[in-house]
Structure 1
Amino acid sequence: MNNRVEAYYREEHAGNRPVICSAEDVDELIDSLLTAPAYHNMAELHSLERVSLPSGFPDHELLVGVDNNLQAGVLEFMDAEGNVVTLGSSEGRGEVSYFIVGNATEFPDRSEIPIDLVRQAVKEFLASGGKRPTCVQWQVPEFW
C-alpha cells in the first residue's frame, strides 16, 4: 500500500501534519486518540492521493472521533456529494461531541459505532486513496 493520509489532531500538527502510510499507522493514530485527554479525541484526515481544489484545499475530509470509556467512535465524511456521519445502533445516547485540539464538533444521535469498526473504516479510507468507507453505514445529519 503506497497511499498516504495527512492527519491533524494535536496543536503541534498545525504546521507539520503527520502522514499515515500503513494499517499499523492507523492503529497508532486510533490508540493515540484513545489515550489522549477527552478534549483531544478526534482527528481530521485528508488523503494525499486526491486532487486538491483550485484553492489548494482538499476536496474531502474524514473526521475520526473516539471515546475510550465506551470503546466507540464516530466518523464524518465530506466531499462534493455532501456530508455524512456514521449510523450506529438504534440505541444512541443523543447528540455527542468530540474534540480536535479543544474545538468541539457535535454529532447527531446514533452516530457512534464500535471502535473496531472505526479502525476498519480508517484503514479502508487509507487503502482506497481517500474514498468514503463502505464498511460502515452512513446518515445525512440534519444540522450540518
Structure 2
Amino acid sequence: MVDLEAWYDEEQNDAVTVRTPAELDAVLDTVAGWDGRIIVHLKPARPVDLAMRRMTLDVGVHGDTGRGALVYTSPNGLWFSKAESGSDSSGGDRILYYYMNSDTEYPVDCEIPLDVVRRAAHEYLTTGGQRPTAPTWQEPPAWYPTAG
C-alpha cells in the first residue's frame, strides 16, 4: 500500500492524503454527493522514482447516476475504462467530467458502474499505483489530445 494524494476541489491548497481504504472512501463519498461528473486525481504521495510519479488514476464520479469513469496514466501509456458492450452510449461520442471546475472530455463509452470505479481506486491504493485489473481498459480515442 502507498499513500496517495487526492486532488478534487478547486478550494484545495494542499492535497488530501489518503493512507487507508476508509480515507479513500471518505473522499469518494464526498465527491459522490456533489452534482455532476467530478474527477478525483490520485497519485502516489511520495513516489520513489520518475515512473511512479507518472502512475496516476483519475477517478470520475457521477453520484447522481451511480456511474463513473477511470483514466490511468503511466510511462507506458494512457487508458480509459470501457463500458460493457450493450451499454447506452447515446448522445454523441464525448462526455464532460470536471476536474476542479475545468471540463475534460472523456469518451462516452468509458462510464462504468460506480462500485467498479471504487474497487479500482482501492486496488490502485493497495498495489502502490499499479493499473487496476478491472475494469476493461481501452486506449484513448483519436480525438483525445494525447492519442496517436
> TM-score scaled to structure 1, two decimals?
0.87
State the match for 2:62 in structure 1: 67
How far is 1:49 from its partner? 5.2
Q: Retained in 2: the 8 A contact 1:49–1:130?
A: no
State the match for 2:47 in structure 1: 50
How far is 1:140 from its partner? 0.2
1:23 paired with 2:18, answer no
How far is 1:28 from its partner? 1.0
3-state SS of 2:129 partner = coil
Structure 2 alignment gaps of length 5 or more: none
- How many residues are treated as equivalent by the alignment? 139
Aligned mates of 1:52, 1:63 — CA distance in 2: 20
Structure 1 alignment gaps of length 5 or more: none
Aligned mates of 1:31, 1:70 — CA distance in 2: 14
Calculate the aligned-residue CA RMSD, in Å.
2.0
> TM-score scaled to structure 2, two decimals?
0.85
- What is the percent sequence identity of the aligned residues? 28
3-state SS of 2:108 partner = coil
State the match for 2:82 in structure 1: 87
